[in-house]
């Protein structure tokens, strides 16, 4: 019995060595995985939106936790090398900023098998846009004077850069639209394409002769009157000091209204101006927009009146509107 056991002890290491050698021979026979190439192209469905300068391409093999990236022209293709055979999700994306808008481009193809070399893959890419500038605050309710009266010269509008890039507010327009106050009786507008416009009663424009860069996360203030409204000759009860405002809507100087250090906005359209630009407290609606063409206050096509009325308004294409709001009356 002891002799037999000794023989088993000798045979066991021999068997292990034999199995190990066989496994080693099998592994040595495995072929090395060859990396492949794939060519990515796109089909763009952008409508009237601008073409991006470039697009980012991302190939992800989730099973192998393997990822490749590349950059391509929207009007060409890109060849991606070092692609391991497998199943991929391919994402194409991009972003552009122009005229106060952020344009987002995106498309993807899922479960794409790349197992042969020089695979040709096409991805459908669409686009959307959002306003990069928006109304952050509109102070329109005014303040009480020490005697209990109403004071509205301290009204202002804060415009915020909601994007991640610098926005140029050169030529930006702010307008109050018709109807002037909240109402259920909406005007009827002439023309078959009337629903493609909003209709401005008054338009103020940032001067379009100089660049005004606005950093991400920062704001500009458009003041009705860019003064310290706490001054004794104005309203000591006002909570507002607007001396630091970037722009003001100066109509004319008076005994109380002076031309302050803020940059004067251009009165682009206001058929019957009053001594100051007052924001109604009865539910007015406003838009921010960048005009596609210079504003002509005498234009026979763009200056229109509601059907059956004589009030003059200026047509603003909805596609140029960056942001809009309606105040609570």
Reported as a single tens digit per residue, the pLDDT across 38-86 is: 999 999 999 888 999 999 999 999 999 999 999 999 999 999 999 999 9
One domain, residues 120 and 195 = no
One domain, residues 105 and 139 = no
Q: Is residue 288 part of a domain?
A: yes
What's the pLDDT at 306? 95
Q: What is the mean pLDDT of residues 273-283?
A: 88
Q: What is the pLDDT of residues 259-268, one digit of tens each?
A: 999 999 999 9
CB atoms within 10 A of CB 123: 19
* CA dihedral over 318, 214, 161, 156, signed as positive or negative: negative
Q: Is residue 93 part of a domain?
A: yes
Q: How many CA atoms are closer than 13 Å to the CA of 3, on its beta-carbon side? A: 0
Domain edge (last residue) among 62, 96, 130: 130
Q: What is the pLDDT of residues 75-110, one digit of tens each?
A: 999 999 999 999 999 999 999 887 788 899 999 999
Domain edge (last residue) among 130, 155, 178: 130
One domain, residues 162 and 309 = yes
Give dist(CA 102, CA 95) in Å, integer: 7
Q: Is residue 3 part of a domain?
A: no
90 Cβ neighbours under 8 A, 6+ residues apart: 40, 57, 58, 59, 60, 108, 109, 110, 112, 121, 123
Place of tokens 């692609």: 83
Q: Is residue 168 part of a domain?
A: yes
58 Cβ neighbours under 8 A, 6+ residues apart: 67, 68, 69, 90, 91, 92, 93
One domain, residues 187 and 88 = no
- State how many domains the chain has: 2
One domain, residues 299 and 178 = yes
One domain, residues 173 and 49 = no
Q: Is residue 23 part of a domain?
A: no
Which pair of structure tokens corresponds to residue 79?
């060849």
One domain, residues 60 and 182 = no
Q: What is the mean pLDDT of residues 278-307?
A: 94
Give dist(CA 263, CA 248) in Å, integer: 6
| 16 three-class SS | helix
One domain, residues 173 and 106 = no
Q: Is residue 210 part of a domain?
A: yes
Q: Is residue 68 part of a domain?
A: yes
- Residues facing 117 on adjacent strands: none
One domain, residues 273 and 247 = yes
Expressed as residue numbers, the domain containing 98 is: 36-130
Contact 23, 59 (CB under 8 A): no
Render 125-171 in DSSP notation, one character per residue: EEEEEEESEEEEEEE-S-EE-TTS-EE-TT-EEEEEE-SSS-EE-TT
Domain edge (last residue) among 98, 130, 162: 130
């Amino acid at each position: 019995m002891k002799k037999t056991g000794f023989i088993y002890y000798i045979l066991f290491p021999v068997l292990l060595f034999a199995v190990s050698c066989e496994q080693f021979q099998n592994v040595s026979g495995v072929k090395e995985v060859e990396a492949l190439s794939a060519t990515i192209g796109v089909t763009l469905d952008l409508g009237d939106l601008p073409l991006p300068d470039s697009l980012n391409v991302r190939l992800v093999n989730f099973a192998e936790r393997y990822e490749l990236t590349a950059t391509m022209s929207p009007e060409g293709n890109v060849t991606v090398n070092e692609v391991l055979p497998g199943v991929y999700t391919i994402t194409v994306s991009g972003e552009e900023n122009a005229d106060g808008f952020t344009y987002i481009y995106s498309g993807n193809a899922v479960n794409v098998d790349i197992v042969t070399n020089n695979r040709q893959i096409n991805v459908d890419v669409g686009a959307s846009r959002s306003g990069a500038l928006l109304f952050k605050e509109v102070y329109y309710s005014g303040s009480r004077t020490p005697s209990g009266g109403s004071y509205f010269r301290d009204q202002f509008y804060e415009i915020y850069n909601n994007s991640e890039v610098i926005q140029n507010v050169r030529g930006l327009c702010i307008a109050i639209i018709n109807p002037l106050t909240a109402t259920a009786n909406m005007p009827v507008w002439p023309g078959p394409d009337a629903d493609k416009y909003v209709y401005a009663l008054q338009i103020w424009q940032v001067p379009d002769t100089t660049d005004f860069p606005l950093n991400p996360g920062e704001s500009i203030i458009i003041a009705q009157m860019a003064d310290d409204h706490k001054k004794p000759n104005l309203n000591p009860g006002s909570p507002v000091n607007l001396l630091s405002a970037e722009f003001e809507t100066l109509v004319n100087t008076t005994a109380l209204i002076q031309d302050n250090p803020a940059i004067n906005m251009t009165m682009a359209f206001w058929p019957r101006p009053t001594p100051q630009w007052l924001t109604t407290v009865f539910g007015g609606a406003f838009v921010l927009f960048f005009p596609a063409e210079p504003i002509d206050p005498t234009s026979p096509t763009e200056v229109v009146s509601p059907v059956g009325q004589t009030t003059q308004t200026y047509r603003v294409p909805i596609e140029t509107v960056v942001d809009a709001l309606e105040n609570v009356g």
